[in-house]
Amino acid sequence: MNDMLLTPGTAEYVAAEIERAIHEHRLPPGSKLGEDELAEVYGISRTIVRAALQGLSHRHLVELKRNRGAFVAQPTVREAREVFEARALLEPRTARSACERMTPEGLALLRAHIEAEHAAVHAGESGRAVYLSGQFHVEIARIADQATIEAFISELVSRSALIIALYWQRRAALCESHAHHALMSAFETGDADMAEDLMKSHLLDLVTSLDLRNRASFPGTLREALGQ
Amino acid sequence: MNDMLLTPGTAEYVAAEIERAIHEHRLPPGSKLGEDELAEVYGISRTIVRAALQGLSHRHLVELKRNRGAFVAQPTVREAREVFEARALLEPRTARSACERMTPEGLALLRAHIEAEHAAVHAGESGRAVYLSGQFHVEIARIADQATIEAFISELVSRSALIIALYWQRRAALCESHAHHALMSAFETGDADMAEDLMKSHLLDLVTSLDLRNRASFPGTLREALGQ
DNA sequence: CGAAACAGGATTGTATACGAAAATGTGTGA
DNA sequence: TCACACATTTTCGTATACAATCCTGTTTCG
């Protein structure tokens, strides 16, 4: 899709790489992100790595523990609720704006995006599928031409990928494609009311597909992996 | 009010200091933030200063120009609109939540806050008045018990301070105190609908009190300070 | 045998040194 | 006198060195 045009060796590049790895579930929540290790992987010094990690921690994708290092974040149940609460405030009306300002190019972009989602699901690349289905929401914000809101949604979507990794309960393949298709037809017919409603219910579907009653259903810090 | 309990010498401390200075209009938009200078002021190395500046740039309060240094951001008209658009999405419903979850302590806090605003205005400390009137909105998000949304609003409020510095047209003293008082009575009576409506119109009042037709009405880069 | 103390190793936190880029100041030639 | 080229200076970008902290494995003592 939108393959970063960042020059390698910069903090932004490294941060984007790590963020995508998190988003695609190649780096599960709690993973240690050693500075020396990353520095060697990308052929740079720790200075750049640290800048990248600090940036990611501002987006709540990485937790920085003093004198302990950086770890992929593990959103709590509470944070998970908050993230989707924020998305519920931002995204429906952004979908409406996007619908109102939709262009032929925008429609083509979204269609291609959905196509790529399908391809990823079909190819069994579930990580990439999660990434793409998240980016779909970011693309909508971009079409709405709201850079500020887009940045917020981008962060929330990335955090959602972590939340999904921790709390997803349905083992069924991503059924979201249906919701995204429905949104597409709203965009195609220019029905802004419907776009807003569909986005609202889509987000609601997402939260209800999570198991937010108990604590993280994932390794955690190994303390909770063994029942306290 | 809420006087940071950060240990001096850390990046967070320095960032908070600079952010407050920006918020209180002691550092006008476009100000150069030299690394060596800041390092000397706070008695630390450039390493820490750079971490602080990078953090502030993620909040869009500082613009980092490659090989040129850090400058206090100068939001464009477009960014200004976007910021208030985002606030319009987040804050009214957050005010509603705050109203629904209001506690006696929360009410006391807000009352004290408004009192401090009055005192600052009365003492002619307009910078501090701007800061406090912004923090009022952050406190509401805190009472709503939504840390994620609070972080977003905090950023938006700080950016609003820059927007006010650039585009404020009414020379009259801050008339917002009225709006904040009205919100207070909604909170006191527990009228959530009214709280939401009042916040919505308060934000609308704020934008209409700005002059967002022309380009920055402030120094800019010194090129526009002298009529091109 | 178990617990606490200690030493070794590994990793992060901070400062500093050095190279690179840009802005500024100076001098020369038309 | 003005414009252009060159030298100087300042400031930023990155790497690296060193100190501080934490974790782990061992030892020692009760």
What percent helix, strand, coil does chain B show, rounded to 5? 65, 5, 30
Instruction: Tell me, rounded to whole angstroms, the distance of Cα B14 from its chain centroid.
Output: 17
Q: What is the CATH number of the domain that holds A68?
A: 1.10.10.10
Asked if A46 and A93 sit in the same domain, the reply is: no
3-state secondary structure of B168: strand
Maximum distance among all Cα pairs of chain B, rounded to whole angstroms: 55
Q: Would you call A46 an interface residue with chain B, using a CB distance cutoff of 8 Å?
A: no
Per the structure, the complete domain to which residue A36 belongs is given by: 11-72
Q: Which positions in chain B touch A149 (Cβ < 8 Å)?
A: 82, 85-86, 89
Nucleotide with C1' nearest the B36 CA: D11
Q: What is the CATH number of the domain that holds A98?
A: 1.20.120.530
A89 with B54: Cβ contact below 8 A: no
Asked if B66 and B91 sit in the same domain, the reply is: no
Encode pLDDT of B16-33 as tens digits. Answer: 999 999 999 999 999 999
Per mean pLDDT, which range of A60-69, A126-135, A206-215, B64-73 is the poorest?
A: A206-215
Greater model confidence, A138 or B174: A138
- What is the CA B206 to C1' C13 distance in angstroms? 44
Q: Would you call A21 an interface residue with chain B, using a CB distance cutoff of 8 Å?
A: no
Encode pLDDT of A40-96 as tens digits. Answer: 999 999 999 999 999 999 999 999 999 999 999 999 999 999 999 999 999 999 999
B82 with A58: Cβ contact below 8 A: no
Q: Which positions in chain A touch B51 (Cβ < 8 Å)?
A: 50-51, 54
Phi, psi (rounded to 5 degrees) for A98: -60, -40
Residue B176 has pLDDT above 80, yes or no: no
Write the residue in B55, B83, B148 that is nearest to A79 by C-beta: B148
Asked if B61 and B98 sit in the same domain, the reply is: no
Work out how many domains chain A is built from and give that number.
2
Please classify residue B74 by burial: count the beta carbons closer than 10 Å to its beta carbon, then call 0-12 exposed, 13-18 middle and 19+ buried: buried
**B213 within some domain:** no
Asked if B192 and B138 sit in the same domain, the reply is: yes
**B168 within some domain:** yes
Range ranked top by mean pLDDT from B50-54, B213-217, B224-228? B50-54
Asked if A83 and A134 sit in the same domain, the reply is: yes
Asked if A136 and A200 sit in the same domain, the reply is: yes
Residue A203 has pLDDT above 80, yes or no: yes
- What is the CA B35 to C1' D5 distance in angstroms? 31
CB atoms within 10 A of CB B4: 11
Q: What is the pLDDT of residue B223?
A: 54
Residue A174 has pLDDT above 60, yes or no: no
Asked if A83 and A182 sit in the same domain, the reply is: yes
Encode pLDDT of B148-172 as tens digits. Answer: 999 999 999 999 999 999 999 876 5
**B161 within some domain:** yes
Alpha carbon separation from A5 to A10, A16, A107, B69 (Å, rounded): 12, 11, 23, 23
ipTM of the complex: 0.94
Q: What is the pLDDT of residue A74?
A: 96
CB environment A18-43: b (16+ within 10 A), e (fewer): bbbbbbbbebebbbebebeebbeebe
Q: What is the pLDDT of residue A90?
A: 98
When the pLDDT of each residue in chain A is averaged and rounded to a whole number, the result is 91
Asked if A203 and A110 sit in the same domain, the reply is: yes
Q: What is the pLDDT of residue A177?
A: 73
Q: Which positions in chain A touch B79 (Cβ < 8 Å)?
A: 147-148
Closest-CA distance, A152 to chain B, in angstroms, reads 8
Chain position carrying tokens 């990046």? B11
Asked if B87 and B182 sit in the same domain, the reply is: yes
Q: How does residue A219 score in pLDDT terms, banded at 50, 70 and 90?
A: low
Residue A1 has pLDDT above 90, yes or no: no
CB atoms within 10 A of CB B16: 16
Nucleotides of C under 7 A from a protein CB: 11-17, 21-23
Q: Which positions in chain A touch B148 (Cβ < 8 Å)?
A: 79, 82-83, 85-86, 156
Q: Would you call A92 an interface residue with chain B, using a CB distance cutoff of 8 Å?
A: no
Asked if A68 and A116 sit in the same domain, the reply is: no
Q: Would you call A89 an interface residue with chain B, using a CB distance cutoff of 8 Å?
A: yes
**A2 within some domain:** no
**A228 within some domain:** no
Rounded CA separation A203/A91 (Å): 9
When the pLDDT of each residue in chain B is averaged and rounded to a whole number, the result is 91
Residue A220 has pLDDT above 80, yes or no: no
Nucleotide with C1' nearest the A49 CA: D14
- What is the CA B192 to C1' D29 distance in angstroms? 67
A51 with B54: Cβ contact below 8 A: yes
Question: H or E segment at A120?
Answer: helix A104-122
Asked if B17 and B93 sit in the same domain, the reply is: no
Residue B217 has pLDDT above 50, yes or no: yes
Q: Would you call B58 an interface residue with chain A, using a CB distance cutoff of 8 Å?
A: yes
Q: Decide which of B50, B72, B94 is a domain's last residue.
A: B72
Nucleotide with C1' nearest the B67 CA: D12
Q: Does B46 contact strand C, using a CB cutoff of 7 Å?
A: yes
Rounded CA separation B128/B136 (Å): 12
Q: Which positions in chain B touch A14 (Cβ < 8 Å)?
A: none
Asked if B100 and B190 sit in the same domain, the reply is: yes
What mean pLDDT is predicted for residues B106-123? 95
Please classify residue A145 by burial: count the beta carbons closer than 10 Å to its beta carbon, then call 0-12 exposed, 13-18 middle and 19+ buried: middle
